[in-house]
Amino acid sequence: EGPPPAPAASPAAPGGEKGRSFEMITVQRAVLELSNYTRLCEAMIHDGGIDLALATLQLCEAGDQRVPLAVELLWNLLALCADAAAPIIGQRKHLDTLHAALLCALSLGHKLNERELRNDILVVLSLLARDEATLPHFPTELVDLLLVLGCGAEAGKGHQGVNPTHHATTSAEDLQMKLLSWDTLAALCRDDDTAAHVFDWGLFDVLLAYVNVDCEIPAVVSWSTLQVLDIQAHVLRLLGNLMDRGCEWFAACHGPATLRMYIDDCPKLALRNQAVGVLAAAAATRVRGELIGVGTIPLAIQLLDANDDLDLRIDALNLLSDSVRRDPDLQRQFLDHGGVTAVLPLLTLIP
């Protein structure tokens, strides 16, 4: 009958440069899998894993399969070992590398995997922006690029490396890009110089456009209803977080009046409550006087009757207390609208 057939040979990796690339990708995938564990991340950082990942970004061309693997590795290292990884990745030279990698990803962008790579780089930048020591190292050019990605379509401002047909659509990936850019910018605004630059550029104008009931900017109104609701929740959270540093810009962009109208026309109670919280945050700043002419005091008094929402009533009380503090005009409004009569029953409220 003859000898049995020989077993099939396992497929070999391609030879030459292509083979080395194949082997490196295989190794990178294994390393990436291991980076899901904190102790192994610590070992990788100690043994120079960050330098290797950044070198991959520098040496590989656009479209190379090794680039997204390197970016995802940096993401894992920052997510699990931020204290050890951020001081290394957050150095200016490495931020320049990430900036170049982002521009490279933006030069492509028409394929799903390219948009995902773009967003993964933004995740890495957003994680770095949380590190206090990294803030001064972020180059202005990178901040400007983030502003264009997050706000350019609404503000009518572009960047030579950003193709609007690839990066300013209403796709889920481009929505994620916008929100990641906003989050990164908000974190960077903990630095005074960066905050002034970002606010002067027009961040508040764009954020408030999404809660302006009369807004007709095409880039704002083109989103679906569900997308708009998600964006509005994100915007209100950012406005509250940025209020301490950006209250003057908020007031200059007619923020109190915009939010007051939004509260009257808000499609969801949760968003209305968020908007009230933003006004309460504004009342605690030096622009509380801007609340006089927009009916904030009667609104807060009215909301004290929201028996089904304790958090909302707390926000309303904070709004009232911070508004009338050391402001005679707001104190007069409070009295004229029966504020004392509205507040007194709360003193007997049984917890």
- Summarize the confidence of residues 237-257 as an average pLDDT: 96
What's the pLDDT at 13?
A: 47
pLDDT of 344: 86
Calculate mean pLDDT across residues 180-199.
97
85: left (phi over 0), alpha (psi -120 to 50) or beta: alpha
Whole-angstrom Cα distance, residue 252 to residue 245? 13
- Kindly list the distances between the CA atom of residue 250 and the CA atoms of 203, 231, 288, 290, 305, in Å, as whole numbers in the listed order: 10, 18, 11, 10, 28
Calpha distance 326→16 (Å, rounded)? 77
Cα(194)–Cα(288) distance, integer angstroms: 24
pLDDT of residue 240: 96
Sequence-distant (≥ 6) Cβ neighbours of residue 88 within 8 angstroms: 45, 50, 94
Ordered DSSP codes for 260-276: HHHHHH-S-HHHHHHHH
CA dist 241 to 191, 245, 247, 312, 336, Å?
A: 14, 9, 10, 18, 32
- Give the angle subtended at the CA of 232 by the CAs of 203 and 152, to the nearest 5°: 35
Tens of pLDDT along 85-128? 999 999 999 999 999 999 988 887 678 888 999 999 999 999 99
| DSSP per-residue codes, 213-247 | TT---HHHHTS-HHHHHHHHHHHHHHHHHHHHHHH
Q: How sure is the predictor about 10, in pLDDT bands with cuts at 50, 70 and 90?
A: very low
Distance CA(177)–CA(121), nearest Å, equals: 10
Full 3-state SS string of 241-257: HHHHHHHHHHHHCCHHH
The pLDDT assigned to 84 comes to: 96
pLDDT of residue 241 exceeding 90, the answer is: yes
What is the rounded average pLDDT for all residues in the chain?
89
Question: pLDDT-derived band of residue 307, with 50, 70 and 90 as boundaries?
Answer: low
| DSSP, residue by residue, 72-120 | HHHHHHHHH-HHHHHHHHTSHHHHHHHHHHHHHHHHS-SSHHHHHHHHH
Domains and CATH numbers, the chain: 223-351 (1.25.10.10)
When mean pLDDT is compared over 193-202, 279-288, 336-345, the highest value belongs to 193-202
